[in-house]
Amino acid sequence: MTFGERLTKAVEAYGPLCVGIDPHPALLDSWGLSQSVEGLERFALTSVEAFGGRVAVVKPQAAFFEAYGSRGVAVLERVIADLKDSGTLVLVDAKRGDIGSTMAAYAQAYLGDGSPLAGDAVTLSPFLGFGSLQPALDTARATGRGVFVLALTSNPEGEQVQRATAPDGRTVAQTIIDFAAARNSGISPCGDVGLVVGATIGETDVDLSGFNGPVLAPGFGAQGGSVADLKRLFGADMRGVLPTSSRDVLKHGPDVSSLVSAVRRVQDSL
């Protein structure tokens, strides 16, 4: 199946929630774990036990694993493999973006068949030009995986680039959306190029009406994003929107049953 088909089936089965696995040092501390590879592994595998087979998408944040070097990356590889075994879609939050052969190497690492770092999708940064992502777009299409491209992020610094006006009068964010929409055109049930639009961006003037793909909406929960914010941004019909919650769920660890209960509460709210 295509990524769009698999994502649609997962959302039908579990709802639209995407849960992050973010082994932030403060969360390791709150779970009573050491800031070490051993603590990282305990945190990550407990999260997999709680979320695997219970949500549509799980999003491990690659940076928190890379911070521990090769042993940390090995834990990330195990997280990806164990989530796949549970039948849960894995979105690796790596935000890669480069040009030429370097982008092709990133594509092989995170989207290529046989790579231990390849989940079902990866986040990408398009700010070297949307065309620079072509190797990743082509690899995703060839392997039945997906990508989520940053468009409008909730960090204040993002406005300097994302809301800037391109020569044709569109904002940079709208240009990215339009490129992604063209890539997804005619694909059913939806395309394999998703967008990242923060749930806490405030008002937005971008047009998503012709976008035939999923929208990842980080910032839901602990960062202040609410269901009302999602409806205001995306309309009452939020098909294709994947609200993302990390800390708001993870703060209930390390008890697995408490994490599961937290997930169910968020799913019910959506």
CA-based end-to-end distance of the chain: 27
Three-class DSSP category at 9: helix
What are the structure tokens assigned to 232, written together? Answer: 């205001």
What is 154-214 written as a DSSP string? SSGGGHHHHTSBPTTS-BHHHHHHHHHHHHHTT-SS--SEEEEE-TT--S-----TT--S-
What are the structure tokens assigned to 106, written together? Answer: 């990133």
Compute the chain's Rg from CA coordinates: 18
Annotation marks residue 84 as catalytic: no
Q: Which amino acid is at 257?
A: S
CA–CA distance, 172 with 150 (Å, rounded to integer): 11
Three-class DSSP category at 31: coil
CA–CA distance, 235 with 98 (Å, rounded to integer): 33
Pick the catalytic residue from 9, 84, 95, 251: 95
**Strand ranges inside 5-145, DSSP E:** 18-21, 57-60, 89-96, 121-124
Cβ(97)–Cβ(132) under 8 Å? yes
Q: Which amino acid is at 80?
A: I
What are the structure tokens assigned to 74, written together? Answer: 């090995």
Residues tagged active-site: 95
